[in-house]
Structure 1
Amino acid sequence: MGVTSRLTGLLARNKRTVPARPVPGAALAEIEDLYVRLGGREVLAGIDLTARAGEVLALVGPNGAGKSTLLAALAADLPAASGGIRIDGRPVGDWSAPELALRRSVLPQSAALSFPFPVEDVVRMGRAPWAGTPFADSDERVVAEAMAATEVTDFAARPFSALSGGERARVALARVLAQQAPLLLLDEPTAALDLRHQELVLRICRERAAAGDAVVVVLHDLGLAAAYADRAAVLHDGRIATAGPPAEVFDDALLSRVYRQPVEVFAHPRGGAPMVVPVRVAPASRGGADTAAGGAI
């Protein structure tokens, strides 16, 4: 029996069909008129959004705007009150859990494990959807490549529980990369990272998009979103205030209103990517304050 026949038989028994590599620009995730309610409160309202193969889509907005909720709904981890979500052209609820795991991978805000698994074993967990298929033959290579990309190889044997917050975040990302799903959903992957590793993570996002994947990433750093995202969706009070290329939608007035903080947006002198800077009132000098106080006495 040939490899193709064995593969077909194995996947049939496990009720899985391996997704074909997406065509550039293909819609890998589609959200139409999505509403989500949590605890009786409407958290998302009327969301329309598409993630396409070959692009990085950043979800930005202030705390409580609905970014993580939107990502969780897209991952099928939260039910929709109404509206539609499609992954790889089918309603998300039509996919079995094993088939969905072959199509989208999810990085939550925080990674916690109850047992002290070694780092390499944690990364290898990302290969679980491929168990029982000939693609499992690539597990060791894929795990090694994911650890190298996220710079965690040097502590592959250390317990996950012994790592710093930033190290855990990179191991969790390595697990997502090892899963090799064409749709990556990343919730604040840079939150615990230093400057070097923030840039590393966003470069990885760009590399995955260049390889044909769709990357949806929640970011708080508007500078990172402007520098690395093809499109950004600005969320405000559970709705999308605007969406498009950062150079077009990062506007002083809009961002100042959404974040309730005056900001300035200007082009970087090299490259032209938008830079978003809060407007700050310079504090009075200590000498000036002392003088003023002395004069009042």
Structure 2
Amino acid sequence: MTPLKTLFAARGRELPAPHVTGSALAETAGLHVRLGQREVLAGIDLAAHAGEVLALVGPNGAGKSTLLAALAADLPAAAGTVRIAGRPVADWSPAELALRRAVLPQAATLSFPFPVAEVVRMGRAPWAGTALEDEDDAAVAAAMDATEVGPFAARPYAALSGGERARVALARVLAQRAPLLLLDEPTAALDLRHQELVLRICRERAAAGDAVVVVLHDLGLAAAYAHRVAVLHDGRIAADGPPAAVLEEELLSQVYRQPVEVLAHPRTGAPLVVPKRLI
């Protein structure tokens, strides 16, 4: 057993119970988070439901990544509550949390030249010693296939391009098979094809009953793939709802401090947000 698996192999863990589509797999109430002396989140009420993709959007510094980290129980609340699977995050052990939520940070670094396949397999570490450990090989293979990283499975992770690393990191998260996926800018380093691929994967996971919370800067991707969009502004939620209701010109122009116009996609009708330019 690898050292990473040994860390998670404690017996007696409570395995995730089946969840009902529409149930809240992560939620906050009156959430405040401070980083140093600065209040980054100020009274956030939000829920991520099984069966949906929830996109967090907003300008730089609005608090999107901080909110995602708080939902993951990686940042403590200064006030308010965070619940995962209906229980306060403090009630779960780290090993139990790892069975319930998988986190993709903005950047991941590895100190050793692990091959790609081994990096993806790290996502299975929380299941060591459980009844589902036998699913490791199938989970790794499915995750690598979904993210199209199989052709370079034997290559060292450090030898990959930025976009390839991003897809391998996502494959690790998918292999974890947690019912709550928390993804921080998963499309930032990707080309057009793979941006679409990642968001299709998000929709597929939601269709399978997972809750997916994804931080995005591309409002077009959010409009096309998210069931709900939460717009953050100065540490608060300025709007939360279906993309067509939330992505409207006056709100976005104010939040982003950039005049925009919102058009309708000619085929799907989804909102298309376009900056108003002088040229």
State the TM bucket, normalised to the shorter chain: over 0.9
Deviation at residue 15 of structure 1 after TM alignment: 3.0
- TM-superposition CA deviations, 1:118-156 (whole Å, max 9, x none): 000000000001101231111111101100000000000
Opposite residue 228 of structure 1, the aligned amino acid is Y
Deviation at residue 20 of structure 1 after TM alignment: 2.0
Deviation at residue 107 of structure 1 after TM alignment: 0.1
Which residue number in structure 2 is paired with residue 57 of structure 1?
A: 54
Pairing partner for 2:187 from 185, 190, 197: 190
Q: Residues 203-222 of structure 1: matches in 2 within 5 Å?
A: 203-222=200-219
For structure 1, the residue ranges without an aligned partner over 5 or more in a row are 1-10, 283-297
1:149 maps onto 2:141 in alignment: no
Which residue number in structure 1 is paired with residue 265 of structure 2?
A: 268
How far apart, in 2, do the equivalents of 1:21 and 1:214 lie?
Answer: 13
Which residue number in structure 2 is paired with residue 99 of structure 1?
A: 96
Which residue number in structure 1 is paired with residue 65 of structure 2?
A: 68
Secondary structure of the residue that 1:276 maps to in structure 2? strand
Q: Residues 13-24 of structure 1: matches in 2 within 5 Å?
A: 14-24=11-21
User: Using a 3 Å threshold, how does the CA distance of structure 1 residues 217 and 13 change in structure 2: closer, same or farther?
Assistant: closer
Deviation at residue 41 of structure 1 after TM alignment: 0.6
How far apart, in 2, do the equivalents of 1:226 and 1:22 lie?
Answer: 26
Pairing partner for 1:35 from 32, 35, 39: 32
For structure 2, the residue ranges without an aligned partner over 5 or more in a row are 1-7
Secondary structure of the residue that 1:102 maps to in structure 2? helix
1:108 maps onto 2:105 in alignment: yes
Which residue number in structure 2 is paired with residue 294 of structure 1?
A: none
Q: Residues 73-88 of structure 1: matches in 2 within 5 Å?
A: 73-88=70-85
Deviation at residue 239 of structure 1 after TM alignment: 0.5
How far apart, in 2, do the equivalents of 1:170 and 1:23 lie?
Answer: 29
- TM-superposition CA deviations, 1:199-252 (whole Å, max 9, x none): 000000000000000000000000000000000000000100000001001110
Which residue number in structure 2 is paired with residue 170 of structure 1?
A: 167
Root mean square deviation of aligned Cα: 1.1
User: Using a 3 Å threshold, how does the CA distance of structure 1 residues 12 and 77 change in structure 2: closer, same or farther?
Assistant: closer
User: Where has structure 1 moved over 3 Å in runs of 4 or more?
Assistant: none
Which residue number in structure 2 is paired with residue 286 of structure 1?
A: none
Deviation at residue 17 of structure 1 after TM alignment: 1.4
Which residue number in structure 2 is paired with residue 128 of structure 1?
A: 125
Deviation at residue 267 of structure 1 after TM alignment: 1.0
How far apart, in 2, do the equivalents of 1:44 and 1:156 lie?
Answer: 40
Q: Residues 189-268 of structure 1: matches in 2 within 5 Å?
A: 189-268=186-265
Pairing partner for 1:90 from 75, 78, 87: 87
Q: Is the 8 A contact 2:31 2:43 kept in 1?
A: yes
User: Using a 3 Å threshold, how does the CA distance of structure 1 residues 13 and 112 change in structure 2: closer, same or farther?
Assistant: closer
Opposite residue 26 of structure 1, the aligned amino acid is S
Q: Is the 8 A contact 1:21 1:182 kept in 2?
A: no
How far apart, in 1, do the equivalents of 2:165 and 2:143 lie?
Answer: 14
How far apart, in 2, do the equivalents of 1:46 and 1:23 lie?
Answer: 27
Which residue number in structure 2 is paired with residue 5 of structure 1?
A: none
How far apart, in 2, do the equivalents of 1:100 and 1:179 lie?
Answer: 12
Query: Structure 2 length as normaliser, TM-score?
Result: 0.96
How far apart, in 2, do the equivalents of 1:105 and 1:80 lie?
Answer: 19
Pairing partner for 1:118 from 90, 115, 120: 115
Would you say how many aligned residue pairs link Structure 1 and Structure 2? 272
Query: Structure 1 length as normaliser, TM-score?
Result: 0.90
Opposite residue 173 of structure 1, the aligned amino acid is L
